[in-house]
Structure 1
Amino acid sequence: MQQSQHKTNQIDYNHVLDNLQDYMLTSKLITMATKNTTNNNPQERSKLLEKNNNTVVVEPILIPKSREIPIPEPNSEKPPSPKQDNKTLDLYYPKQKDSLFWCYFIIKNGFSKYEYPGTTTFVFEKEEKFKSVELLRQYKQDLKTHKIKNIKEHVEDELINKERIGMKTFIALCVASKLNVLFIHKRKCFDLVSNLDLHAKTHIVVCEDNLKCAHKYGVEIEIDEKKAAYYRDNYFNWESVDKPLKAMGSYKSEELSNLCGKIGIDITKSQRTKKEMYELLIINM
């Protein structure tokens, strides 16, 4: 009796296994399931197939492209420079309050030193200005040669007591540092040659009118000698820092007419006398 019951249970159990064949994860079922999921651009995955010797091997399995998970590409763009917003073409505008002093610092020491952490702090700026005063005192004779007067009353006072320096102090610092500079304001230029070395380059500093402060200053990072030559030939040249024009008697009418043209004063609509042209030049200085 027990043998007969055991045989019946074994038959029923085998029958259950046969019914579950369609739902078991066999190699045959996997092959049938993945047969219709291939496409022209497959991506490899792996599946496990059990061999007769019970060893497991890895074989590629193809999945449709629609199921692929996109892998984001690394960002190849370089991060923007923190000072990029202050650049316009080749000009760089220092964002510090005394931007003209920092134009001088960049010309003298290089842009990389200006960007060095801690360089543009208030304490460092004051230290550099005190050093600049000592430098000016060492080159008093050179300052006299370039007709820069009232050094102590004007130049040193600006460096020590004022928030900003002006053109005169900037030119004085460039003289003491043996720097060749072309200072541009509107259609006027001051050409400073304090280094007679033939290989010495000319640095260009541009002064622009600004509503927030008296002026906005920028320095050209890339030196362009052709541009410097254009300024010299087409812009009005200052005679000196303190006195842009010579006395009226030193000019002929034709010379004054040419100067008016360089500075952008239109005198073609009406005939101007020598005195009128000279006064127009003074007003536009």
Structure 2
Amino acid sequence: MLTNENMSKTVKINPSKKKENRTLSKERVNISVPQNVDDLFWCFYIILNGEHSYAIDNSFKKEKEFKIECIEKLRKIKSELKAFKLRLNEIENELLNEKKITIKTLVALCLLYKINILYVWNRKYIEIINNPDETINIILNENMEHKISYDTNITKVNYYRENYWFIENVSKPLKGITNYTHSELLTIANKLDIIDMNNKKTKKEIYEKILEKI
């Protein structure tokens, strides 16, 4: 788990918002999909400000204004970004010039607004925990489509932690082969659901299969 204290990397749904934003009817659909070009950004924005904040008619203008505002604020937490191996100039470029933000910018925004997020994709996850006492928000990347999961109970969170591979460094998910034992590589392969992995495989064979998967 990533926290500001131990630099473990964890991501979660808006802890700073009032609880009413997260109180949902049992009949409600579990997933919310923002219909927008930068869907990852809008998942974050809705987590931060609530669903009422998303309006199709002026979403582009709102998106640009908010991103520019974030650039100014991010410059004040440059040291925090550096601790997570994030480069301010790359984050600024994404917010200002790119059509879509990446996981790196998502992490930066979570640090800026002190939001907890669990981001899940392809049997991998990153976790940004800024406030251990608050809800962990979950964003799912399914076939390159980002969704907000409203199933945020601790059982669901622990399921991802136990069965998916935790990514410590977004920029470099897999370290060099010498940094892992045979057993550790086998565990990663199993969490990535790589078939035909067993103790008979060499470290190199397992490592190469993991590289192919990610």
Gaps of 5+ in 2: 1-27
Conservation of the 8 A alpha-carbon contact between 1:239 and 1:246 = no
Asked if the contact 2:117–2:138 (Cα under 8 Å) also holds between the matched residues in 1, the reply is yes
1:274 alignment counterpart: 203
Q: 1:151 aligned to 2:88?
A: yes
Question: 2:42 pairs with 92, 97, 102, which one?
Answer: 102
Question: With structure 1 as the length reference, what TM-score do the two structures score?
Answer: 0.62
Count of equivalent residues = 187
1:143 is matched by which residue type in structure 2? L
* Higher alpha-carbon Rg: 1
Match of 1:234 in 2: 163
Superimposed CA distance per residue, residues 148-182 of structure 1 (whole angstroms, 9 cap, x where no aligned partner): 2x221x21111111111111111111111111111
- Number of the residue aligned with 1:245: 174
**Structure 1 unaligned regions, length at least 5:** 1-87, 210-214
CA separation of 1:259/1:110 partners in 2, compared to 1, >3 Å: closer, same or farther? Answer: same
Q: Greater RCO between the two (CA within 8 Å, min separation 6)?
A: 2
Among 118, 137, 141, the residue aligned to 1:203: 137
SS at match of 2:54: helix
Q: Deviations 1:110-167 (Å, cap 9, x if unpaired)?
A: 122225x75x52111110110111121121111122222x221x21111111111111
| Structure 2 counterpart of 1:37 | none
Within 5 Å, which residues of 2 pair with 1:1-285? Answer: 89-115=29-55, 118=57, 120-148=58-86, 150-152=87-89, 154-193=90-129, 195=130, 197-209=131-143, 215-268=144-197, 271-285=200-214
Question: How many Å separate the matches in 1 of 2:175 and 2:38?
Answer: 31
Q: TM-score, normalised by structure 2?
A: 0.81
**Distance in 1 of aligned mates of 2:137 and 2:124:** 16
Aligned-partner SS, 1:121: helix
* Displacement of 1:221: 3.3
Structure 1 runs (4+) greater than 3 angstroms displaced:
268-271
Percent identity for Structure 1 against Structure 2: 34
Q: What residue identity is the alignment partner of 1:192? A: I
